[in-house]
Amino acid sequence: MKDSETKQRFIEMRVDGASFETCARELGISKSKAIQWNKDLQRDINNLEFDKCQTVIGTCKLTKQKRVEFLAKNLEKINNALDNKSYEDMSVKELLILQEKFQTEMNELTKSTKYRTGEMMVVDPLENFNGGLGPYETERTLDLE
């Protein structure tokens, strides 16, 4: 393998979760070289990992959207049943339990998903106020949706 092909395979293996030892053994390099490559190629590893996350999210979006639509439709029915007090088939307790279950799942499905980039940034959320806490360092994240 050419060096660039070997490094590309190393990046792919690291994104897939392979250990330094496994990468070194499969690529025929030393473990210390694998560790150094990891440091040197971290941005490429992060980019490929992000791309793979985006691909997975893209394939799951339709399924997630259908589930959200299903939950929203059923939550609306439950809320209408509660509003109209038409307890034909279900007791109030059963309707409330079902409402809570659907609402919890809806909240879980619609919350924002973040990708951790591994890069640090300095923020000061209270910079416009006197006596703020001052700047602090935190990891940069990107929304995946």
The mean per-residue pLDDT over the stretch 7-18 comes to: 91
Q: Domain-by-domain residue ranges, the chain?
A: 3-40, 59-110, 114-143
Q: Which of 78, 83, 80 is nearest to 95 (CA)?
A: 78
The mean per-residue pLDDT over the stretch 37-63 comes to: 84
The mean per-residue pLDDT over the stretch 99-115 comes to: 78
pLDDT at 37 over 60: yes
On whether the pTM is more than 0.85, the answer is no
Tally Cβ neighbours within 10 Å of residue 104.
Answer: 11
36-70 CB burial, b ≥16 within 10 A, e <16: ebeeebeebbbebbbeeeeeeeeeeeeeeeeeeee
User: Sign of torsion, CA 42 123 112 102?
Assistant: positive
Mean pLDDT of the chain: 80
For residue 35, the model assigns a pLDDT of: 92
For residue 2, the model assigns a pLDDT of: 63
How many CA atoms lie less than 13 Å away from 99 in the CB half-sphere? 15
Residue the block writes with tokens 């030892």: 21
> Rounded distance, CA 89 to CA 73, Å?
18
Tokens in use for 106? 């809806």
pLDDT confidence band for 39 (50 / 70 / 90): very high
pLDDT tens readout for residues 55-93 = 877 777 767 778 888 888 888 887 777 777 655 677 778
> Rounded distance, CA 69 to CA 63, Å?
10
Percentage of the chain lying above the pLDDT 70 cut = 79
Residue 131 region by backbone torsions, left for phi larger than 0, else alpha for psi between -120 and 50, else beta:
left
Residue the block writes with tokens 């919350």: 111
